[in-house]
Chains A and B, each alone.
Chain A
């Protein structure tokens, strides 16, 4: 594969998304497609389990779904001490969806793009989490929820007071505001960039390994893939936990 367009060309080719449109209205079709398909898989699996759910002895599928649900529910119970119908399902969705995104990283780097090039599609980037749009879409949604709940729980005035009068008291209002705004803005940015950075780097290393001679590749890609199994779960977990933490912070009244 390294032959076409040289090493740089190969790398760039692998990291270029399939696009339609111009300027801001560009759409990354591959990101949209794969994330929608993965989201659909997630929904289908859990929905089919939820339909056949039994309080008796669970089958393997229900067992797995219950394990996930209990895992997320435990995380929510550990950090969030309020009543919310949204946070736990949100956490589950984030965890599963991000995990499925990341899992695409474990597919051989050339496999899907080879298939798609045979179908006449020139560019294909299969891992949605290597697209800043995908990660920012998640983190900005979470950010909107943070703002929404902050205002809902504390009221507009309460939220404004928190932004201006903490941590240093009303006399340092501009400084407080600056600190708080940075603090809030940092949440979605760090969420999105952490996930993006990890997965982008991981994918890049897979691509670099794919450039090496064939007999060395397994030696490197195998341990990196094993290591990556840890990373993809960890990143999905971190995203979920931080979302829960941020939302529970939004629920807390100071």
Chain B
């Protein structure tokens, strides 16, 4: 049970073992552990971020959807309005066109009436003149009584 040179041998072995562990065993393993730890925490953070992003995207999509709905409703309303307007407009146009046609027809009728009246009057006046001429053939000189004849024809007209 004596202390002897074995002690020195053991110390040398121990020193070598510690040196080797320090040099070649500990650093790569602890590095790998740290790296894995980092990887895992990064992964977790990324997952969390992804989830948050998804929530945000969902919110955005909902917002867009709502906006699109409102817009489409607006467009539909506008179109409806426009259609109504067009219908109204064409109605109005047709009405006014009709009125115009009626008007022009009326005017034409009026004109024709006027013409008929005129020709009738002329005929009447010439007939009257002829009659008067025949009656007054002898006494009345056309040139002498031009004034009277003119006045009469004017009164008839």
Contact = CB atoms under 8 A, between A and B. Distances in A.
Contacts, number: 117
Contacts of A128: 10
Nearest to B33: A66
B25 A27 contact: no
B117 interface: no
A53 B9 contact: no
A83 interface: no
Contacts of A8: none
A75 interface: no
Majority SS of interface residues in chain A? helix
A244 to B, nearest CB: 13
A39 B26 contact: no
A138 B10 contact: yes
Contacts of A27: 4-6, 9
A26 B10 contact: no
Contact of B21 (A93, A131, A140): A93
A133 B24 contact: no
Interface string B15-26: 111101110111
Nearest to A145: B18
B3 to A, nearest CB: 6
A54 interface: yes
Nearest to A97: B17
B64 interface: no
Interface in B1-53: 1-11, 13-18, 20-22, 24-26, 28-30, 32-33, 35-36, 39
B5 A92 contact: no
A140 B17 contact: no
Interface string A76-117: 000000000110111011000100000000000000000000
17 contacts: A25-B5, A27-B4, A43-B17, A43-B21, A51-B28, A69-B29, A73-B30, A86-B18, A88-B26, A88-B30, A89-B22, A90-B18, A93-B17, A97-B17, A133-B7, A137-B11, A138-B10
